[in-house]
Amino acid sequence: MCGITGWLDWDADLLHQARTVREMTATLACRGPDADGVWLSRHAALGHRRLAVIDPDGGAQPLADRPGADAAAVLAYNGELYNHRELRTELEALGHVFRTRSDTEVVLRAHLQWGRSAPSRFNGIFGYALWDARQEELLLVRDHLGIKPLYWHAHRSGVLFGSEPKAVLANPLFRAELDTDGIAELFALPAAPSAGHGLFRGLHEVRPGHLVAVTRAATREVRYWRLESAEHRDDAATTRGTVRDLLADAVERQLISDVPLCTLLSGGVDSSAVTALAAAARERAGQGKITSFSVDFPGSADRTPDAWRTTRDAPYVAAAAEHIGTLHTTVLVPDDDLLDARDAVLRARDRPGWGEMDASLHLLFREVRRRSTVALSGEAADEIFGGYPYFHDAAAVAAPTFPWLHGKATPADLLRADVRAEARPEEYTAAAYHRSLGEVPRLPGESAHDARIREVFHLALTRWLPPLLDRVDRVSMSVGLEVRVPFCDHRLVEYLWNVPWALKAPDGRAKGLLRDAVRDLLPPQVTDRPKSGYPSTPAVRYTEVLTARAQELLADPNAPVFELVDRDLVRRLLAEGRPLPSPRTAPNPVGGLDHLVQVDEWLRAYRVGLR
């Protein structure tokens, strides 16, 4: 995977801005440790950092359709195109001549052939920028589900863009500022962020399934993919078989790599199914055993289960790894390492995140990267099959809000009265929820229950899944690891979108459809294991250190977090031994404390101005 950035300016001569463009590009070195490149013209500049996965020798970027200054189109691409071989064959039949084996050139020539409709032909993960010199048009394009990030900012005479906010922040035309909408996103909706909102004032994300077209005359957002509702006509057996075939094909496609590849194996049905299908595909291809990795923590065996974390991973990981026959490694993460990783995670995400859960994921990915460059994950199965607890909680489903926020406090409860009056977090959340409902593709004639379940699935795909995908991308790319997500194959998502709830959860079994579709691949205890969320560590010292830092903030009259948060309220809650409201919906007593400290660290490190 890679990092891209760039600058479009209709007034300035960017041939004289090489230094700034290189500085923007350098911020993304972690995403692309293998090579870098910059392409400049008068009005458009592109920067690229490369993680070589396919055609390491021939895939240098930015890539132009022809050498020299008269290029018709130039591409800076972050992604993997899983159907690039089929598209290459089709384009060659249309007369295109390829200079490389890379999927990057397939993307470039697809645009030369099909223009803005090219992304609808792609199967993959991507966020890219294409400068069309013929039309004087910049296209910023993001994949169907938003697996790869892409941010942009409109300035007076053009746009800045980058795979991560840090690239845009490196340009003096953009300042790190937080307005009232940003405050509401950060404190009220960290678990349901608004599509397209980049948190910083004036920063946007290209929305999943969209492209942004920038010309002298206008900047337009164009949707190239959407879910469509239709009656599901397949019976249960056909549905199971189709799910199995689509998932197996997605996994096999995503095994394409010219560098070492592995899987992330938690012992749940999702990651175990991906691992088993990957192992079977490698066996058919005459390749060796697949490598797998999991994470664990000292003292995890003594932790009391809860509604979110129902069982330990370790026994199920061992059962799955033995049954499938993987070369498995468990990465053990101690408290001190979590503390050491905090700054790296903040810099990776460019915003306050999920604290110790981000830190442990960073440490897991860092160890994985020592042996692999690409990893397959079971992410997104719960969103498309309905595996999370809120899908099965009648009160949460019926609640007039995002189901996972039903009955939950948010960090917005800590805001100062004057800040709350301006940001109006409750109104902001309600407006975001109703706006989201307005985007649901309806199916005429559905029962009220099925229509509501359809809404919940759409909310899960468009508001719950994006921060999970963002977390995985940003944390993995901070160590130069590419994580692929077969369950996000848009063909599988499209099919499951119209599968009725009764088939997805037969006999009320959570993810029963998936379990039955892969039952022959796994040991029974793994296939039927109840949902158990990503582990938060029983980190005693981590909690002690964060508590001490919070007390230091309370004693600091200039702590920037208290320009937003009620200092007396935080002091009282800590004195009473009560947990602060967390940005996460999973139960975690340290989550709110982590968020408070991280917000302060972020405001200082990024010199964020408040508007």
In a domain, 313, yes or no: yes
In this prediction, residues 209-229 reach a mean pLDDT of 97
| Average pLDDT for the chain | 94
Domain residues for the domain of 574 are 540-610
Mean pLDDT of 494-509: 97
For 130, the 3-state DSSP assignment is strand
Which pLDDT score, from 0 to 100, does residue 96 have?
95
SS3 102: coil
> How confident is the model at residue 416, as a pLDDT?
98
Q: Is the peptide bond before 119 cis (omega within 30 degrees of 0)?
A: no
Q: Does the residue 50 lie in any domain?
A: yes
CA atoms of 197 and 206, how far apart (whole Å): 9
Residues whose CB falls within 8 Å of the CB of residue 539, separated by 6 or more in sequence, listed in order: 297, 335, 338, 356, 590
425, 364: one domain: yes
Q: Among candidates 259, 258, 266, 254, which has minimal Cα distance to 326?
A: 266
Closest CA to 204 of 256, 160, 251: 160
Q: Is the residue at 230 inside a domain?
A: no
* pLDDT of res. 69: 63
Of 2, 30, 262, 488, which one is the catalytic site residue?
2
Same domain, 544 and 498: no
pLDDT score for 68:
66
52-56, 379-383, 484-488, 535-539: which range is least confident on average?
A: 535-539
Confidence of residue 240 (pLDDT cuts 50, 70, 90): very high
The answer to whether residue 231 is domain-embedded is no
Residue 335 lies in a domain: yes
- Give, in order, the Cα–Cα distances in Å from 512 to each of 274, 346, 383, 385: 16, 37, 14, 8
Residues 154 and 261 in one domain: no
Q: Compute the average pLDDT of residues 366-383.
A: 97
pLDDT at 494: 98
- Give 567-581 as a DSSP string: HHHHHHHHHTTPPPP
* pLDDT (mean) for 142-156: 97
Which whole number is the average pLDDT over 336-351? 93
Separation of alpha carbons 461 and 496, rounded Å: 12
Tell me, yes or no, whether 184 and 35 share the same domain.
Answer: yes
Which pLDDT score is estimated for 303?
63
User: Mean pLDDT, to the nearest integer, of 200-229?
Assistant: 98
Distance CA 388, CA 229 (A): 22
Q: What is the pLDDT of residue 533?
A: 75
Instruction: Report how far residue 27's alpha carbon sits from residue 95's, in angstroms, rounded to the nearest whole number.
Output: 38
Give rounded-to-5 percent helix, strand, coil for the chain: 45, 15, 40
Give me the mean pLDDT over the 518-522 stretch.
98
2 tagged catalytic: yes
Instruction: Please tell me whether residues 361 and 457 are part of one structural domain.
Output: yes
**Pure H helices in 115-234:** 165-169, 180-187
Let me know if 500 is exposed, middle or buried by CB neighbors in 10 A (0-12, 13-18, 19+): middle
Q: Are residues 78 and 127 in the same domain?
A: yes
Same domain, 565 and 489: no
Count H helices, E strands: the chain? 23, 19
- Evaluate whether residue 228 is within a structural domain: no
pLDDT per residue as tens digits for the range 466-494? 999 999 999 999 999 999 999 999 999 99
Residue 134 lies in a domain: yes
Domain boundary among 193, 223, 253: 223
> Cα–chain-centroid distance for residue 175?
24
Residue 55: pLDDT band (50, 70, 90) is low
Average of per-residue pLDDT across 34-57: 88
Q: Does residue 504 register a pLDDT over 70?
A: yes
Residue 533 lies in a domain: no
Q: How many CB atoms lie within 10 A of CB 289?
A: 13
Angle between helices 335-349 and 465-477 in degrees, nearest 10: 100
- Last residue of one domain, picked from the residues 194, 223, 252: 223
Are the beta carbons of 513 and 504 closer than 8 angstroms? yes
* 348 neighbors 475 (Cβ within 8 angstroms): yes
Which letter does DSSP use for residue 215 in this model?
A: -
Residue 310 has pLDDT above 90, yes or no: no
Report CA-CA distances (Å) from 29 to 5, 21, 169, 565. 11, 13, 15, 34
Residues 14, 16: Cα–Cα separation, whole Å: 5
8 A C-beta contact, residue 463 and residue 192: yes
Read off the amino acid at residue 110.
A
Give the tens place of pLDDT for each residue, 79-111.
999 999 999 999 999 999 999 999 999 999 999
User: What pLDDT does 336 receive?
Assistant: 83
The two beta strands, 177-178 and 609-610, are parallel
d(CA 288, CA 140): 39
Q: How confident is the model at residue 547, as a pLDDT? A: 94
If you ran DSSP here, which 8-state letter would residue 77 be given?
E
- Around Cβ 511, how many Cβ atoms within 10 Å? 23
User: Please, which pLDDT band fits residue 278 given cuts at 50, 70 and 90?
Assistant: very high
With beta carbons less than 8 A apart as the criterion, state whether 412 and 192 touch.
no
Q: Is the pLDDT of residue 333 over 80?
A: yes
Predicted confidence (pLDDT) at residue 257 exceeds the cutoff of 70: yes
Count of structural domains, the chain: 3
Q: Is the pLDDT of residue 305 over 90?
A: no
Question: Within this chain, do residues 428 and 493 fall inside the same structural domain, yes or no?
Answer: yes
Query: Domain containing 28 — which CATH number?
Result: 3.60.20.10
How far apart CA 133 and CA 576 sit, in angstroms, is 63
Residue 476: which residues within 8 A CB-CB, separation 6 or more?
Answer: 365, 375, 482, 483
CA of 145: how far to CAs of 108, 113, 153, 453, 595, in Å? 21, 24, 21, 20, 27
- Report pLDDT for 57: 67
In this prediction, residue 58 carries a pLDDT of 66
pLDDT band at 307 (very low <50, low <70, confident <90, very high): low
Q: Does pLDDT of 67 surpass 80?
A: no
Query: Looking at residues 207-234, what average pLDDT do you find?
Result: 97
* 63 and 187 housed in the same domain: yes
What integer is the mean pLDDT of 440-452?
96
Query: What is residue 304's predicted lDDT score, i.e. its pLDDT?
Result: 61
Task: Return the half-sphere exposure (C-beta side, CA atoms, 13 A cut-off) of residue 390.
Answer: 25
Radius of gyration of the chain (CA): 24
Q: Which two tokens stand for residue 319?
A: 């059962």
188: left (phi over 0), alpha (psi -120 to 50) or beta: alpha
Query: Distance between CA atoms of 425 and 92, rounded to whole angstroms?
Result: 54
pLDDT at 70: 77
Q: Is the pLDDT of residue 302 over 60?
A: no
Regarding whether 257 and 109 lie in a shared domain, the answer is no
The residues, any chain, with a CB within 8 Å of residue 547's CB and separated by 6 or more, are: 574, 593
pLDDT, tens only, 398-427 = 999 999 999 999 999 999 999 999 999 999
Tell me: do 247 and 160 sit in the same domain.
no
DSSP strands (E only) in 15-112: 35-40, 44-50, 63-64, 73-81
CATH number at residue 446: 3.40.50.620
Mean pLDDT of 50-71: 78
Q: Range with the lowest mean pLDDT among 44-53, 123-132, 133-142, 465-474? A: 44-53
pLDDT at position 131 over 60: yes
Picking from 501, 527, 553, the residue at the C-terminal end of a domain is 527
Both 474 and 580 in one domain: the answer is no
Angle (nearest 5°) at CA 494 between 520 and 274: 30
